[in-house]
Structure 1
Amino acid sequence: MNKTLELTGIIGYPITPFSDVTGAVNILQLQGIIDGLISSGSSAIAALGSAGEGAYLNTAEWEETALATIHHVADRVPVIIGISELTTPDAVARAVFADKAGVKAVMVSPMSYYKLSEDEIFAHYQAISDAISVPIMVYNNPSTSGIDMSPEFMCKMVNSITNVTMVKESSGDIRRMHQLHMLSNGTLPFYNGCNYLALEAINAGAKGWCSAAPILIGDLPKQLFDSIKSGDNNKARNLFYQQITFLEFIVKQGLAASIKVGLKLQGTDVGSPRLPLKDLPAREHVALRRILVDLGRFN
């Protein structure tokens, strides 16, 4: 079993482009987005998360997108594949597929219709761990999954389940990251999944920042991360305040919809989000355009 993967820096999250004509995944555009993320300094690529609309793809689309990502990255950086399934057998099947395809880790967010107990969540992760040989990132995002896992419980899974090795915290509560650090005596790798908390999260010890933001604003997130890690606090604050309006916008308006509109504004039409998600209202296009102009990222 593999518990050796070390991730740090910006973990880039590609959106999943769709053809507006056929609705199919546009693999050529996906490849371009991946190349852009890597050239902007992403130290890993994490496909099929919330920004990638992984929960909205059918099995064939999901598998096609996972394979295309792994093959196109071609070991330039590690690839993580997101898994968010209602049932444990479906989650296990996708994890096994990703493992066999050559992924370096899987990111698992338990989804809920019924409220799940901690015992049920633990068993979900245990079953996935038992079926694969790569590390598992616990993804806590209550706003999308309907499940909010406590720092104590996530630390328990890391300590008890063989392949569970790291946590992505996206609740929006910076106290969770301090708790993860303290509960593990600083040994648990945790990652910021809440864009507008980047400055605080990295200062709190986050090993990396999981974000789709570089798709639209290039290496500004990496500059922020690097300045914090190098101890240049003035530069870090300036970079953060430069980006904060954009980061708050994409979180509030929805990552997939915001990034897709932004790409269209920049000259690349990657289609609409998958229904029932919708494009942003026209007034938000105007607002995003203004933000990108201010950041010097409007073509």
Structure 2
Amino acid sequence: MGEFQGLVAFSVTPTRPDESIDEDRWCTHIDTLIEAGVDGVAIFGSTGSIGSFTEAERRRVAEVITKHVARRVPVAIGTGAITTAEAVRLSEHAEKSGADAILVVPITYWPLNEAELCAHYRAIAAATHVPIFAYNSPVLTGVDMTPNIIVRLCEDGRVQYLKESARDLLRIPHIKEATDGRLRIFGGRDDSIVEALRLGATGWTSGAVNIVPRACRRLFTLANGSQELSATHLLQRRLTPLMSFLMDKGHVSVCHTALEILGRPVGAPRRPILPLAGKDRVQLEAILRTLEEDL
């Protein structure tokens, strides 16, 4: 079973004009990411529009993608769901499909307290054997898994990875110390990944990598080096307009629109999410023109 480290691509979910999932295009897109040097792939994360697809669709894709990747890199399957029962079913299926980890974000309409979050994750852990990749995304989910909650989730050793997307980067060294380094922490915000790595994150879970995979690969490599500070900051400054635009306008809409502009179309997001239009699209086109040498 492959371990996650380094640069992990949170893939978009390609679609056809009728909004069905385009499996062939998805496989081609993932091949592009692997060829660019990503260290792992995650499907049905936030950039993959996790809340937009049915349980049956997600089961089918888990089988297709794990078979296609064929152990070239580790694969994490997003199994977050609004009920614990569905998350358990998806997690069991992801394990049977050959996932190297299950990526669990708390999707909910109701605010969850600490006891509810811990019970949710422990039910998933009890039903599976593969490592759990916890995903804290308070802006998108409305649920903030605080450092204390993360520490509790790690007690039984099943939660081995964390994508931390909270704005407070100082959580990273705090969680790292509180878990005695047992938890592998990944920076989850594209716009502050260099800072996250400097504060103790050991990897980068990226949505921007869908658009500029080689530039993201280079930035991660530079940021982990000790002699390339000026080159790191130069590339970071060049990528900052795109990273900030992603955070401001939404990874799903921006990634789908950018790939269409770049001639690597993956279809439109499933509605109600829409591609960018008007001034937003014009601004994105301008940003991408400044990155031509990095594409």
Could you say whether these structures have the same fold, taking a TM-score greater than 0.5 normalized by the shorter chain as the test? yes
User: Deviation at 1:79?
Assistant: 0.3
- 2:176 maps to 181
Contact 1:12 1:211 in 2 (8 A): yes
Q: Aligned partners of 1:185 and 1:127: how far apart in 2?
A: 24
Q: SS in structure 2 opposite 1:190?
A: strand
Q: Aligned partners of 1:8 and 1:185: how far apart in 2?
A: 18
> Cα RMSD (Å) of the superposition?
1.6
Task: Kindly indicate whether residue 16 of structure 2 is the aligned counterpart of residue 6 of structure 1.
Answer: no
Which amino acid in structure 1 is aligned with residue 74 of structure 2?
Answer: P
- 1:223 maps to 218
Q: Aligned partners of 2:174 and 2:37: how far apart in 1?
A: 29
Q: TM-score if structure 2 supplies the norm length? A: 0.95
User: Deviation at 1:298?
Assistant: 9.2
- 2:166 maps to 171
Moved more, 50-59 or 262-271: 262-271
Q: Aligned runs of 1:38-53 on 2, under 5 Å?
A: 38-53=34-49
Aligned partner (choices 280, 284, 289) of residue 293 of structure 1: 289
- 2:122 maps to 126
Change in CA separation of 1:8 and 1:194 when aligned onto 2, cut-off 3 Å: same
Q: Deviations over 1:138-179 (max 9, x none)?
A: 1000112121011121012112x3411121101122111121
Q: TM-score if structure 1 supplies the norm length? A: 0.94
Q: SS in structure 1 opposite 2:166?
A: coil
Q: SS in structure 1 opposite 2:170?
A: helix
Q: Aligned partners of 2:294 and 2:158: how far apart in 1?
A: 42
How many residues are aligned here? 294
Q: Aligned partners of 2:182 and 2:118: how far apart in 1?
A: 21
Contact 1:81 1:107 in 2 (8 A): yes
Q: Aligned partners of 1:162 and 1:198: how far apart in 2?
A: 26
Q: Aligned runs of 1:1-299 on 2, under 5 Å?
A: 6-20=3-17, 22-159=18-155, 161-231=156-226, 232-296=228-292
Q: Aligned partners of 1:103 and 1:72: how far apart in 2?
A: 12
Q: Which runs of 5+ in 1 are unaligned?
A: none
Q: Which runs of 5+ in 2 are unaligned?
A: none
Q: Where in structure 1 do 4 or more consecutive aligned residues deviate above 3 Å?
A: none
Aligned-pair identity in percent equals 31
Q: SS in structure 1 opposite 2:211?
A: helix
Q: Aligned partners of 2:124 and 2:268: how far apart in 1?
A: 32
Q: SS in structure 2 opposite 1:107?
A: strand
Q: Deviations over 1:199-247 (max 9, x none)?
A: 1001111111111212211211111111121212121111111111111
Contact 2:188 2:206 in 1 (8 A): yes
Q: SS in structure 2 opposite 1:167?
A: strand
Q: Aligned partners of 2:120 and 2:249: how far apart in 1?
A: 31
Q: Aligned partners of 1:269 and 1:102: how far apart in 2?
A: 28
User: Deviation at 1:5?
Assistant: 5.6
Q: Aligned partners of 2:213 and 2:94: how far apart in 1?
A: 28
